[in-house]
Amino acid sequence: GENVEQHPSTLSVQEGDSAVIKCTYSDSASNYFPWYKQELGKRPQLIIDIRSNVGEKKDQRIAVTLNKTAKHFSLHITETQPEDSAVYFCAASIGGGGGADGLTFGKGTHLIIQP
């Protein structure tokens, strides 16, 4: 099955700096790559996603890049703010039904924004 590795497990950055979280996946058939943010004691919530026919996607201060050849995708947060402090999860999915289903998640990155 799919295996998703996520690094680093903890990331501390100064407020206003950029943060980058990286994930690799094992199954070249994976075609959907979402990122979820989970604040302490809350449910995971989707912040951005990308599909395999796109190399980069941006939404205000957040961007995701995908390198299908290397089986690698990254989350970039610019101009970090205190409210960005949370655990971030990457995930990968073959999707499309017809067999393996459900997202495979990375183990998470605890992002700490230092004032």
Partner 1 sequence: NAGVTQTPKFQVLKTGQSMTLQCAQDMNHNSMYWYRQDPGMGLRLIYYSASEGTTDKGEVPNGYNVSRLNKREFSLRLESAAPSQTSVYFCASSGGTGANSPLHFGNGTRLTVT
List residues near partner 1 by CB under 8 A. Answer: 1, 6, 9, 31-32, 34, 36, 42-46, 49, 51, 89, 93-98, 101-108
108: number of Cβ within 10 Å: 18
**What is the smallest separation between the CB atom of 79 and partner 1, expressed in angstroms?**
25
Which residues lie across from 6 on neighbouring strands? 23
**What is the smallest separation between the CB atom of 92 and partner 1, expressed in angstroms?**
9
**What is the smallest separation between the CB atom of 53 and partner 1, expressed in angstroms?**
12
**How many angstroms separate the CA atoms of 66 and 51, rounded?**
9
| Bridging pattern class, strands 19-25 and 4-7 | antiparallel
Nearer to partner 1, 3 or 114 (CB): 3
* Secondary structure, 3-state, 4-19: EEEECCEEEEECCCCE
Nearer to partner 1, 75 or 94 (CB): 94
* 108's tokens: 């998470």
**What is the smallest separation between the CB atom of 106 and partner 1, expressed in angstroms?**
6
Nearer to partner 1, 14 or 45 (CB): 45
Nearer to partner 1, 51 or 61 (CB): 51
Q: What is the dihedral of CA 3, 4, 8, 13, to 10 degrees?
A: -170
